[in-house]
Amino acid sequence: MRTTIKSGILVAVVLSLALIVGSGLVPNRAAAANVNGVRYNVVAKNAKAYKRALRAVKKAGAQVVLEMPQIKTFAVRSTDAEFASKARQLKGVKHAGKDNTLQLFRPAMYKELFGTEMKFLGARTQPQTIQAVGKKSKANAVNADPGHSLAGLMWNLPRVGADDQTWALNSGDPAVTVATMDTGVDYTHVELAPHFSHAKSMYFHDTACLEATGIDDVWVAANIFAGAVNEDNDFNGHGSWIAGNIGAVMDNHGINGIAPNVKISSLKISDWCGSAYSSTIAAAMIWAADHGIDVVNLSFGGFDDPFSPAGQAEIAMEKAAAKYAWDNGTIIAHSAGNDRARIDANGVFTSHGILAVPGDPTSGGDPSGLVLGPAGDELIVVSATNNIVNGVSPSCPADALAAGSFAWCKPASDAHHPFGVGKTDQLTYYSNYGPGIDVAGPGGARKFNVPSADRGGTPGWPFTGIGSVFGGTSVADGFNAWEDFSTTSNWIVVAGIDCFWITGMGFPANQCYAIIQGTSMAAPHVAGVMGLIASRNLDARGNPARIEKILKEGATKGLVNYQTELSATDTSGGDRTGGTCPQAYCHFGTVVIPSSEVYGAGLVNGFGSYTAPR
């Protein structure tokens, strides 16, 4: 998320990331030192002013980082502390300000969603081997891969009409490309390699991770993996999860994605740490459009400050890039963010608090008036829904409670209970909502759909359930994944995204899979369905308006939300963790969020989009 925001919602990325490198390895500080000065964005009024301003800043000694003449914007580095104010005085310059950094998750939410702080491991994450036992699917051209026959594991795909019924009609066209704008894609993974397009992939060499920690993916590839893998791969795992959800191949092994026959590609905007500059994201949007990519998934987000010169420059740049992509035939699915805050139809936050963590007063704050970034009316904004809301129990086994954030039982004695027990497809406890939501997608959530501090519970299998990490009395959970299961990278070097090697049930050997939650996971469900729409409808290729129309017409309507807004008055501690919440917004209140603000046009549906009026 954004690194600059009022009311102390977030800490600077330089501080948050500089503290996570404790591996004993020697980072490339020399390379980091060569990244001189502060990065700025300059937005010109017209093409003539763009060229004039570009010449002027070069003459003044600034280093041009990115040139984006398509949107009359460029990014520079300067050691002059007055650069932005001087640039704003140049004739024809509309906006100039600091280029802020985005992250996949703000630090407090990373720990909430993944159960650990973001940190560099200094080595490849250790795989955990888990056995899956069940009846393998019968192999034929349209049957889902065998992992789908484990009841409860791939719950999310049938919810969006991605199943044998749909795939018999439309499993995607290799003439269609769906790209992940993320941490890269592991194109060595056997589920991702067959349909990966190198020709439509680009590594942007963003320097945010390098500047903050002295470590970039060039260093990781050379020093951790000794050249066994290229620097354009995925060392975080987030991007490879998304690629698998969209287009893991259907080959009677493991699992397959929503659109298993489309081409997938990587717009690598971030290195291992999951952080990127706003201008890099804008440049990637432009590159996607210029290279004929049909659909893009963007699971980065943040806060733009429209009251600051930097925020004004970012908003103008992001809106121009999103419009450029749209006008040139590329449609982008964008995650709504993990703050449990309300976004109006213009992308402006109207809530006065975001989901906070008891005991951590820096985790909250007031986002009201800020804009969901990247900004852009053309972006398809996606909220996240869950599997099912599980209820509390009169008492819980000792091993369940001892599992901490992986507990599979929540006692009735806890003060904070879930809403909508027994209901499916509910707003997840972390997802943003509001009139700014276009459609919803399954993002998954902890078993009880409340925060971890309130004993939100296990992510599900393979952490808990049959033959799982915790085992014990959790076997009653079977193979249920309460969060979302997909592929991940075989080359992860950060804590948080686990690598599971699954044996049995036709899973390929020594390949990584993971279970994750977040609006990051909801958005690719939409990107995948948009890939199916572009595959089915030739007139929709290069026509984002047509894709959006079919997407929304085909979405599942009539869903009812029972989840509530965050409480502005409950300052109690967490059911599991204790602590205090003086700023409030740690727990849920009693005001139910309108269903229209949760689902937008509905829950995305591949079969519905196939049968929608054409």
Q: Which of 28-32, 324-328, 540-544, 582-586 is predicted least confidently?
A: 28-32
Q: Tens of pLDDT along 227-246?
A: 999 999 999 999 999 999 99
**Mean pLDDT value across the chain:** 93
Q: Does pLDDT of 28 surpass 50?
A: no
Q: Does pLDDT of 16 surpass 90?
A: no
Q: Tens of pLDDT along 347-391?
A: 999 999 999 999 998 899 999 999 999 999 999 999 999 999 999
Q: Does pLDDT of 33 surpass 80?
A: no
Q: Does pLDDT of 18 surpass 60?
A: no
DSSP 3-state of 334? strand
**Sheet with 263-268: strands ordered across:** 202-203, 263-268, 177-182, 295-298, 331-335, 380-385, 439-442
Instruction: Report the 10 Å Cβ neighbour count for 75.
Output: 24
Q: Tens of pLDDT along 384-432?
A: 999 999 999 999 999 999 999 999 999 999 999 999 999 999 999 999 9
Q: Tens of pLDDT along 119-178?
A: 999 999 999 999 998 766 555 556 899 999 998 999 999 999 999 999 999 999 999 999
Beta strands at 302-304 and 38-44: parallel, antiparallel or unpaired: unpaired
Both tokens of 164, joined, read 């044998």
Share of the chain above pLDDT 70, in %: 93
Q: Tens of pLDDT along 62-94?
A: 999 999 999 999 999 999 999 999 999 999 999
pLDDT of residue 131: 96
pLDDT of residue 141: 53
- Rounded Cα distance between 471 and 399, Å, is 9
Q: Tens of pLDDT along 245-282?
A: 999 999 999 999 999 999 999 999 999 999 999 999 99
Domains of the chain in start order, with CATH, are 31-100 (3.30.70.80), 103-388+423-445+483-611 (3.40.50.200)
Q: Is the dihedral of CA 104, 603, 185, 39 positive or negative?
A: negative
Cα-Cα-Cα-Cα torsion 303, 309, 315, 320, nearest 10 degrees, comes to -160
pLDDT of residue 298: 98
Determine if the peptide bond prior to 418 is cis (ω within 30°). no
Non-local CB neighbours of 451 within 8 Å, separated by 6+ positions: 112, 355, 357, 429, 430, 574, 586, 587
pLDDT of residue 38: 96
Amino acid in the structure at residue 221: A
Name the DSSP letter for residue 187.
T
Q: Does pLDDT of 12 surpass 80?
A: no
Span 563-575, mean pLDDT? 98
- Rounded Cα distance between 478 and 476, Å, is 5
Amino acid in the structure at residue 573: G
pLDDT bin (cut points 50, 70, 90) of residue 109 is: confident
pLDDT of residue 103: 85
**Distance spanning both ends of the chain, measured CA to CA:** 38
> pTM here?
0.95
Non-local CB neighbours of 481 within 8 Å, separated by 6+ positions: 152, 153, 154, 155, 387, 444, 459, 460, 461, 515
